[in-house]
Amino acid sequence: MPVPSSSAERTLSTTLASNLIDYHRLIDNVADQLAELGWEYPNLFAVRMALEESISNAIRHGNNEDPAKRVHVECRLSPVRFWSKIVDEGAGFNPSAVPDCCAPERLEVPGGRGLALIKAYMTSVEYNECGNCLTMEKRLDVRREAIGDADGEG
Amino acid sequence: MPSPQRLDVNESGSITVIRFRDQKIIDPVAIQELGQELFDLVEKEDRRKIILNFGNVEFLSSAALGKLITFEKKVKRIGAELILTNISPEIFQVFSITNLDKLFKIKDTEADALAVL
C-alpha cells in the first residue's frame, strides 16, 4: 500500500465540490508544482490523466454529482514521487467488477476507460475495501514500465 | 445548422477535414458540444469521408474518448469513412492503452489520410 513518507515532500489538501469544472484548477496547480520540481512533459501528462480520471470518477460515479457531497483530495509531491488519495462520499464500488474496456468485444462501448488509464499511468493504484477511496502513486525512481516514466529504460 | 464552435471544418474535394479548436478536451459541456457538431456532420450534412485532425489536441479525457467512440459507431452505421490523423505521441498512447488504436483507422498526417480516402 503506497503511503505518504518523506518530510521533504510538498503537500496539497483540498475539498472539492461535486461538479466537473472546479477540480481542473487543482490539477493545473499539481502539474505546475511538479514542473517546478523538475518533472517533464510525459510524466506530467501521466499525472494529469490519473488525476483527471480519478477525480471525475469520484464526482460522476462516486458522488453522482450530488451538490451536497464533496470529494477530498490529498497530494504529496517530490522530485521523484507523486502520491494522491481521492475520497468521495458515495457508497463505493467494486473495481474488480468493472468490465475490461479493452476487450475486443467492448471496444465500441463508450464508457469505462478511466480506470484503465489510471492503472496504466501510475506505478501503483489501490482502492479501499468499499471502493470510495483511491490511493495512487507514481515513482520516477523505480525502473518499471509505468507509462510516461521518463526514467525507465524504455 | 449553427456555426461550429468546437471544430474547424474544411472541405478538400469530397473529403471533410475537421480540426479541434480546444487544446484540452475535458470540459463536459465542450465534449457534448463537439460531439453534437460531429454527429451533425454525418447525420444532417451527409458527409461521408471524414478526416479528424488531432494536431491541436494536447490532452483529452476518457469522456472525450467515449464521444469519439459514439461518433465512430454512427459513421460506421451509415457507411461513411473516418480517419484520425496528426495524433501526438502522448495522445496516441491514450488510444493504445485503451485499445482504441484497433477501433479507429489512424494515419500520421492529413496527406496520408487523403491518399487513401
With an 8 Å Cβ cutoff, are A109 and B69 in contact? yes
Flag whether pLDDT at A75 surpasses 70: yes
Are the CB atoms for B29 and B86 separated by under 8 Å?
A: no
CATH number at residue B34: 3.30.750.24
C-alpha span between A102 and B100 (Å, rounded): 8
Does some domain include residue B2? no
Does some domain include residue A153? no
The residue that leads in pLDDT, A144 or B83, is: B83
Does some domain include residue A146? no
Does some domain include residue B52? yes
Beta-carbon contacts of A4 under 8 Å, excluding residues fewer than 6 positions away, are A11, A74, A76, A83
Span A81-120, pLDDT tens digits: 999 999 999 999 988 888 888 888 888 887 779 999 999 9
C-alpha span between A49 and B82 (Å, rounded): 26
Span A4-58, pLDDT tens digits: 556 689 999 999 999 999 999 999 999 999 999 999 999 999 999 999 999 999 9
C-alpha span between B52 and B84 (Å, rounded): 5
Buried-state track A77-96, b at ≥16 Cβ within 10 A, e below 16: bbebbbbbbbbbebeebeee
pLDDT score for A2? 54
Closest-CA residue of chain A to B93: A147
Specify the number of domains making up chain A. Answer: 1
Other Cβ atoms less than 10 A from the Cβ of B74: the count is: 17
CATH number at residue A28: 3.30.565.10
Does some domain include residue A124? yes
Specify the number of domains making up chain B. Answer: 1
C-alpha cell at A23: 477540480
| Average pLDDT rounded to a whole number, residues B68-79 | 96
Domain that holds residue A55: 12-139
pLDDT score for A153? 39
Does some domain include residue A5? no
Task: Give B 21-50 residues with CB within 8 A of chain A.
Answer: 26-28
Does some domain include residue A149? no
pLDDT score for A154? 33
Are the CB atoms for A41 and A151 separated by under 8 Å?
A: no
Does some domain include residue B1? no
Span B84-95, pLDDT tens digits: 999 999 999 999
| Average pLDDT rounded to a whole number, residues B51-79 | 96
Please list every residue in chain A whose beta carbon sits closer than 8 Å to the beta carbon of residue B63. 56
Res. A152 pLDDT band, cuts 50 70 90: very low
CA distance B91 to chain A (A): 9
With an 8 Å Cβ cutoff, are B97 and A120 in contact? yes
